Chains A and B, each alone.
Chain A
Amino acid sequence: KQEVTQIPAALSVPEGENLVLNCSFTDSAIYNLQWFRQDPGKGLTSLLLIQSSQREQTSGRLNASLDKSSGRSTLYIAASQPGDSATYLCAVKGGSYIPTFGRGTSLIVHP
Protein backbone atom coordinates (compact mmCIF):
# COMPACT_ATOMS: atom_id res chain seq x y z
CA LYS A 1 0.00 0.00 0.00
CA GLN A 2 1.36 3.38 -1.03
CA GLU A 3 2.17 5.77 1.81
CA VAL A 4 2.98 9.42 1.23
CA THR A 5 4.74 11.63 3.75
CA GLN A 6 5.23 15.38 3.57
CA ILE A 7 7.83 17.28 5.54
CA PRO A 8 7.68 19.76 7.15
CA ALA A 9 4.07 19.73 8.34
CA ALA A 10 4.17 23.51 8.79
CA LEU A 11 6.44 26.31 7.73
CA SER A 12 6.48 30.02 8.51
CA VAL A 13 8.92 32.24 6.64
CA PRO A 14 9.47 35.91 5.83
CA GLU A 15 8.67 37.14 2.38
CA GLY A 16 11.40 36.66 -0.22
CA GLU A 17 12.80 33.37 1.00
CA ASN A 18 13.32 30.41 -1.27
CA LEU A 19 11.52 27.33 0.03
CA VAL A 20 11.75 23.58 -0.34
CA LEU A 21 8.81 21.32 0.46
CA ASN A 22 9.39 17.59 0.58
CA CYS A 23 7.25 14.62 -0.39
CA SER A 24 8.30 10.98 -0.02
CA PHE A 25 6.49 7.82 -1.07
CA THR A 26 7.02 4.14 -0.36
CA ASP A 27 6.20 2.48 -3.69
CA SER A 28 8.26 3.73 -6.61
CA ALA A 29 6.03 2.08 -9.24
CA ILE A 30 4.11 5.25 -10.05
CA TYR A 31 2.50 6.83 -13.10
CA ASN A 32 2.90 10.39 -11.94
CA LEU A 33 3.00 12.81 -9.02
CA GLN A 34 0.95 15.96 -8.68
CA TRP A 35 1.49 18.97 -6.45
CA PHE A 36 -1.63 20.85 -5.36
CA ARG A 37 -2.35 24.02 -3.49
CA GLN A 38 -5.30 24.33 -1.12
CA ASP A 39 -6.45 27.62 0.39
CA PRO A 40 -8.46 27.50 3.64
CA GLY A 41 -11.98 26.30 3.03
CA LYS A 42 -11.37 25.89 -0.69
CA GLY A 43 -10.77 23.13 -3.21
CA LEU A 44 -7.52 21.86 -4.67
CA THR A 45 -5.69 23.69 -7.42
CA SER A 46 -3.23 21.65 -9.45
CA LEU A 47 0.19 23.27 -9.59
CA LEU A 48 2.42 20.78 -11.35
CA LEU A 49 2.24 17.26 -12.73
CA ILE A 50 5.47 15.27 -13.03
CA GLN A 51 5.24 12.21 -15.18
CA SER A 52 7.04 9.06 -14.14
CA SER A 53 9.55 9.47 -16.96
CA GLN A 54 10.35 13.08 -16.07
CA ARG A 55 12.83 14.49 -13.57
CA GLU A 56 11.34 17.94 -13.10
CA GLN A 57 8.67 20.42 -14.10
CA THR A 58 8.62 24.19 -13.84
CA SER A 59 5.85 26.75 -13.74
CA GLY A 60 6.76 30.33 -12.97
CA ARG A 61 8.38 30.48 -9.52
CA LEU A 62 7.61 26.82 -8.89
CA ASN A 63 9.90 23.92 -9.70
CA ALA A 64 9.13 20.33 -8.82
CA SER A 65 11.61 17.48 -9.06
CA LEU A 66 11.08 13.73 -8.95
CA ASP A 67 13.52 10.99 -7.98
CA LYS A 68 11.44 7.89 -8.47
CA SER A 69 14.09 5.41 -7.39
CA SER A 70 14.46 7.00 -3.98
CA GLY A 71 10.75 7.78 -3.65
CA ARG A 72 11.13 11.53 -3.31
CA SER A 73 9.81 14.73 -4.79
CA THR A 74 10.54 18.32 -3.85
CA LEU A 75 8.61 21.48 -4.59
CA TYR A 76 10.84 24.52 -4.78
CA ILE A 77 9.21 27.95 -4.40
CA ALA A 78 11.43 30.86 -5.37
CA ALA A 79 11.14 34.32 -3.84
CA SER A 80 8.13 33.49 -1.70
CA GLN A 81 5.25 35.99 -1.39
CA PRO A 82 2.41 36.36 1.14
CA GLY A 83 0.05 35.16 -1.58
CA ASP A 84 1.83 31.81 -1.53
CA SER A 85 0.40 31.12 1.93
CA ALA A 86 -1.65 27.94 1.65
CA THR A 87 -1.43 24.21 2.24
CA TYR A 88 0.58 22.29 -0.33
CA LEU A 89 -0.34 18.68 -1.01
CA CYS A 90 1.39 16.05 -3.06
CA ALA A 91 -0.44 13.08 -4.57
CA VAL A 92 1.11 9.97 -6.08
CA LYS A 93 -0.72 7.81 -8.61
CA GLY A 94 0.37 4.21 -8.99
CA GLY A 95 -0.94 1.00 -10.48
CA SER A 96 -4.26 1.23 -8.64
CA TYR A 97 -4.97 4.44 -10.61
CA ILE A 98 -5.89 6.11 -7.30
CA PRO A 99 -4.02 9.27 -6.28
CA THR A 100 -2.71 8.89 -2.72
CA PHE A 101 -2.17 12.07 -0.75
CA GLY A 102 0.20 13.19 1.93
CA ARG A 103 -1.09 15.27 4.85
CA GLY A 104 0.29 18.46 3.37
CA THR A 105 2.62 21.27 4.34
CA SER A 106 0.94 24.37 5.74
CA LEU A 107 2.88 27.42 4.57
CA ILE A 108 2.67 30.95 5.93
CA VAL A 109 4.68 33.69 4.26
CA HIS A 110 4.61 36.87 6.31
CA PRO A 111 5.41 40.33 4.95
Chain B
Amino acid sequence: NAGVMQNPRHLVRRRGQEARLRCSPMKGHSHVYWYRQLPEEGLKFMVYLQKENIIDESGMPKERFSAEFPKEGPSILRIQQVVRGDSAAYFCASSPFPGHENTEAFFGQGTRLTVV
Protein backbone atom coordinates (compact mmCIF):
# COMPACT_ATOMS: atom_id res chain seq x y z
CA ASN B 1 0.00 0.00 0.00
CA ALA B 2 1.78 3.08 -1.24
CA GLY B 3 1.71 6.13 0.97
CA VAL B 4 0.21 9.48 0.12
CA MET B 5 1.73 10.57 -3.18
CA GLN B 6 2.17 14.20 -4.08
CA ASN B 7 3.48 15.53 -7.33
CA PRO B 8 5.37 17.35 -8.41
CA ARG B 9 7.81 17.49 -5.52
CA HIS B 10 9.14 20.82 -6.71
CA LEU B 11 7.37 23.35 -8.88
CA VAL B 12 8.65 26.66 -10.19
CA ARG B 13 6.20 29.14 -11.64
CA ARG B 14 6.52 32.69 -12.87
CA ARG B 15 4.25 35.33 -11.39
CA GLY B 16 0.86 35.20 -13.05
CA GLN B 17 1.03 31.53 -14.06
CA GLU B 18 -1.13 28.73 -12.71
CA ALA B 19 0.11 26.06 -10.31
CA ARG B 20 -1.52 22.64 -10.10
CA LEU B 21 -0.62 20.41 -7.18
CA ARG B 22 -1.71 16.79 -7.12
CA CYS B 23 -2.34 14.43 -4.24
CA SER B 24 -3.16 10.73 -4.49
CA PRO B 25 -4.43 9.49 -1.12
CA MET B 26 -3.62 6.13 0.35
CA LYS B 27 -5.71 3.27 -0.97
CA GLY B 28 -9.07 3.16 0.75
CA HIS B 29 -8.87 6.73 2.06
CA SER B 30 -11.67 9.02 0.99
CA HIS B 31 -10.79 12.09 3.09
CA VAL B 32 -8.09 14.55 2.04
CA TYR B 33 -6.64 17.63 3.72
CA TRP B 34 -4.40 20.32 2.26
CA TYR B 35 -2.02 22.39 4.38
CA ARG B 36 0.45 25.16 3.63
CA GLN B 37 3.75 25.58 5.44
CA LEU B 38 5.81 28.74 5.30
CA PRO B 39 9.48 28.69 6.40
CA GLU B 40 9.92 28.35 10.16
CA GLU B 41 6.17 27.97 10.68
CA GLY B 42 3.78 25.15 11.43
CA LEU B 43 1.22 23.72 9.07
CA LYS B 44 -1.77 25.93 8.31
CA PHE B 45 -4.98 24.19 7.32
CA MET B 46 -6.38 25.15 3.94
CA VAL B 47 -9.16 22.78 2.86
CA TYR B 48 -10.75 19.47 3.78
CA LEU B 49 -12.39 17.35 1.08
CA GLN B 50 -14.23 14.10 0.79
CA LYS B 51 -14.79 12.42 -2.55
CA GLU B 52 -16.60 14.94 -4.77
CA ASN B 53 -17.31 17.28 -1.84
CA ILE B 54 -15.61 20.20 -0.14
CA ILE B 55 -16.27 19.77 3.56
CA ASP B 56 -14.41 22.79 4.93
CA GLU B 57 -12.49 25.43 3.00
CA SER B 58 -12.23 27.98 5.79
CA GLY B 59 -8.44 28.13 5.57
CA MET B 60 -8.22 28.71 1.86
CA PRO B 61 -7.95 32.22 0.39
CA LYS B 62 -11.18 33.17 -1.34
CA GLU B 63 -9.46 34.32 -4.49
CA ARG B 64 -7.15 32.42 -6.85
CA PHE B 65 -7.23 29.17 -4.84
CA SER B 66 -9.47 26.19 -5.51
CA ALA B 67 -9.46 22.49 -4.66
CA GLU B 68 -11.22 19.41 -5.87
CA PHE B 69 -11.30 15.70 -5.14
CA PRO B 70 -13.12 13.97 -7.99
CA LYS B 71 -14.69 10.55 -7.88
CA GLU B 72 -11.78 9.21 -9.92
CA GLY B 73 -8.24 10.49 -9.77
CA PRO B 74 -6.18 12.58 -7.42
CA SER B 75 -7.11 15.62 -5.42
CA ILE B 76 -5.98 18.86 -7.07
CA LEU B 77 -5.06 22.14 -5.43
CA ARG B 78 -5.06 24.90 -8.03
CA ILE B 79 -3.53 28.32 -7.60
CA GLN B 80 -4.26 30.79 -10.34
CA GLN B 81 -2.16 33.86 -11.13
CA VAL B 82 0.49 32.97 -8.59
CA VAL B 83 2.31 35.68 -6.64
CA ARG B 84 5.59 35.55 -4.73
CA GLY B 85 3.72 35.17 -1.45
CA ASP B 86 2.36 31.80 -2.62
CA SER B 87 5.85 30.33 -2.38
CA ALA B 88 5.61 27.65 0.30
CA ALA B 89 5.48 23.93 0.89
CA TYR B 90 2.03 22.44 0.34
CA PHE B 91 1.22 19.20 2.11
CA CYS B 92 -1.60 16.79 1.58
CA ALA B 93 -2.86 14.27 4.11
CA SER B 94 -5.37 11.48 3.79
CA SER B 95 -7.34 9.35 6.20
CA PRO B 96 -10.26 6.96 6.26
CA PHE B 97 -13.37 8.28 7.98
CA PRO B 98 -11.87 10.62 10.60
CA GLY B 99 -14.64 10.39 13.17
CA HIS B 100 -12.97 7.65 15.17
CA GLU B 101 -10.32 8.19 17.79
CA ASN B 102 -8.01 5.60 16.24
CA THR B 103 -8.06 7.19 12.78
CA GLU B 104 -4.64 8.44 11.80
CA ALA B 105 -3.78 11.08 9.21
CA PHE B 106 -1.00 10.20 6.78
CA PHE B 107 1.00 12.89 5.03
CA GLY B 108 2.69 13.12 1.68
CA GLN B 109 6.19 14.48 1.06
CA GLY B 110 4.84 17.84 -0.03
CA THR B 111 5.14 20.05 -3.07
CA ARG B 112 7.53 22.96 -2.78
CA LEU B 113 6.26 25.82 -4.86
CA THR B 114 8.61 28.62 -5.80
CA VAL B 115 7.24 31.68 -7.58
CA VAL B 116 9.84 33.71 -9.45
Contacts and interface: CB of A to CB of B under 8 A. Distances in A.
Contacts of B31: 97
Contact of B99 (A45, A97, A104): A97
A70 interface: no
Interface in B78-100: 91, 93, 98-100
Nearest to B100: A31
Interface residues of A, number: 26
Given A97-B31, A103-B41, A103-B42, A42 B109 contact: yes
A97 B109 CA distance: 21
Interface string B19-31: 0000000000001
A101 B48 contact: no
Contacts, number: 67
B18 interface: no
A99 B105 contact: yes
Contact of A34 (B99, B100, B104, B109): B104
Contacts of A91: 43, 105
Contacts of A43: 91, 107-110
Nearest to A91: B105
B56 A96 contact: yes
Interface residues of B, number: 27
A101 B91 CA distance: 13
Given A96-B56, A97-B99, A49 B104 contact: yes
Given A46-B105, A51-B102, A99-B33, 7 more contacts: A31-B98, A89-B42, A91-B43, A97-B31, A101-B42, A101-B43, A101-B45
19 contacts: A31-B103, A32-B102, A32-B103, A34-B105, A43-B110, A46-B107, A51-B101, A53-B101, A89-B43, A93-B98, A97-B55, A99-B105, A100-B45, A101-B35, A101-B42, A101-B45, A102-B42, A103-B42, A104-B42
Interface of B: 31, 33, 35, 41-45, 48, 55-56, 91, 93, 98-110, 112
